[in-house]
């Protein structure tokens, strides 16, 4: 039986792999978002209507409410860590959480935070 609690086994992903994965997911989401959302938005530039379309049925409403809640939590985290851990420029990640989306804003904040907190501890 393998003991997964040992330090060498517990570290399944190193920092370089973590950063690469986060960047790939953020870029992948941005590409999919751009491919699916931008063409209809160019045809009909009604941003309010596009936003409201996310609330058309109970299922899309649930997903949209989850995204909004995640963005609010990300925003609270950015504000909190700006004061408690002195993470700078997190506000840019909050804006990225609006466009293209929370997936990109969250990924950007993790990378920004990782870099700044890693630099502070050295």
CA dist., res. 2 & res. 73, Å (int): 37
CA dist., res. 15 & res. 17, Å (int): 5
Q: What is the pLDDT of residue 12?
A: 81
Q: Can you state the angle between helices 90-98 and 102-120, rounded to 10 degrees?
A: 170
CA distance readout (Å), 4 to 8, 16, 17 = 8, 21, 19
Least confident range from 17-21, 49-53, 63-67: namely 49-53
CB atoms within 10 A of CB 41: 14
pTM of the model: 0.81
Helix/strand/coil for 56 = coil
Domain boundaries, the chain: 14-117
Query: For a pLDDT cut of 90, what percent of the chain falls above it?
Result: 79
């Amino acid at each position: 039986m393998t003991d997964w609690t040992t330090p060498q086994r517990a570290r399944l992903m190193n920092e370089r792999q973590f950063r690469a994965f986060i960047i790939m997911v953020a870029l992948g989401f941005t590409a999919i978002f751009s491919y699916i959302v931008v063409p209809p938005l160019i045809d009909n530039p009604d941003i309010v209507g596009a936003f409201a379309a996310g609330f058309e049925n109970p299922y899309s409403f649930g997903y949209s409410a989850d995204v909004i809640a995640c963005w609010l939590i990300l925003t609270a985290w950015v504000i909190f860590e700006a004061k408690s851990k002195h993470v700078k420029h997190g506000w840019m990640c909050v804006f990225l959480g609006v466009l293209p989306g929370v997936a990109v804003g969250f990924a950007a904040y993790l990378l920004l935070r990782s870099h700044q907190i890693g630099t502070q501890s050295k």
